[in-house]
Amino acid sequence: MGAQMTLAGRAASATKGFVEVKDFALFYDTLDGAVEAVTGVSIHVDPGEFVSIIGPSGCGKSTLLNAVAGFLKPTGGTVTVDGEAVDGPSADRGMVFQQYSLFPWKTVRGNVEFGLKMKGKDRGSREPAARTLLGLAGLLQFENQYPERLSGGMKQRVGIVRALATGPKVLLLDEPFGALDAQTRVIMQQILTNMWQRLKISVLFVTHDIDEAIFLSDRVYCMTARPGTIKAEIMVPLERPRQPAMMMSSEFLALRRGLMSLIREESLKAMGGEISDGALEGLSINLHGQSLADVI
Ligand code: ADP
């Protein structure tokens, strides 16, 4: 099948990795009482689909992702993968965090082979499988290096490859490129979508970067300020494979404008309603007729 595979074609070629979250709520117990982080959230990821969650800081994106990973139990609602309730972490759901979590005492290939060992692959087949995966991420020439010798982008590539080595049906990523510079970020995005298309797995990706969400995804869920709910669901009908030049297309820019205004509204709310658009535009403070020098 060609690289310009349609969305329907891609979804149909993957049969596993259907994530369904229904009426999800999560409250954190704290000394000051319950913190209502997320409430009434229903989302899904079709098999083979790439879905992002975007929203202002603190709206509950990581909470939702951690519940799909099985690290957090819902206070209300259900989380299922292929119809089975998520009950703790599993190799079926690979997770990649923003901070690099490689074993420093293992080489690049050793880190990936660890993932394969977790999957139950026998010793003899681990090395060729690790080399194939590293090749997909353009990392083969670094297979014998230790993580401390790698750049941030390379470490994160190894992290993604290691998460993929356990053979997950769903890959969950929490701001994985947040610590990288803009150029590296775009290249990482292309590497990730390339691997995703070849492996035909489902992806749920958390970010607060609007361009990143549009560039990567088939669909984007936009969340409200805390307690997080789903404010909007946006389809991204851009063709695949995505190229950086598409970010300048009128289609991309229209999606960007729409998402920006949705997120901005929620970010202002998340700042406690103290800053309004009007106040930001004029940077005006009502001094009730006094000069600033009188006031300070
Ligand atoms: P996001 O990923 O969108 O930035 P999070 O899911 O990390 O948001 O957090 C959602 C809300 O829950 C935030 O207000 C955060 O302060 C709160 N929160 C997260 N973890 C905890 C915790 N362990 N205990 C109490 N409150 C928490």
Report CA(137)–ligand 1 centroid distance (Å). Answer: 32
Percent pLDDT > 90 in the chain is 67
pTM of the model: 0.88
Q: For ligand 1, atom 12, which residue shows the shortest CA distance?
A: 37
Q: Please, are residues 171 and 94 in contact by the beta-carbon 8 Å criterion? A: yes
The strand pairing partners of 78, in sequence order, are 22
Report CA(52)–ligand 1 centroid distance (Å). Answer: 18
Return d(Cα 183, Cα 201) in angstroms, integer: 26
212-235 pLDDT per residue, tens: 999 999 999 999 999 999 999 999
- Work out which ligand 1 atom sits closest to the CA atom of 206: 2
Locate the domains of the chain by residue range: 7-92+168-295
**Residues at CB less than 6 angstroms from ligand 1:** 28, 30, 35, 37, 55, 57-63, 226
What's the whole-number average pLDDT of the chain?
Answer: 88
Residue 9 has pLDDT above 70, yes or no: no
Q: Which residues lie closer than 8 Å to 243 by C-beta, 6 or more apart?
A: none
59-109 pLDDT per residue, tens: 999 999 999 999 999 999 999 999 999 999 998 999 998 887 899 999 999
Report CA(62)–ligand 1 centroid distance (Å). Answer: 7
Order the strands of the 76-81 sheet from edge to edge: 33-45, 19-30, 76-81, 84-85
Q: 7-92+168-295 has which CATH code? A: 3.40.50.300
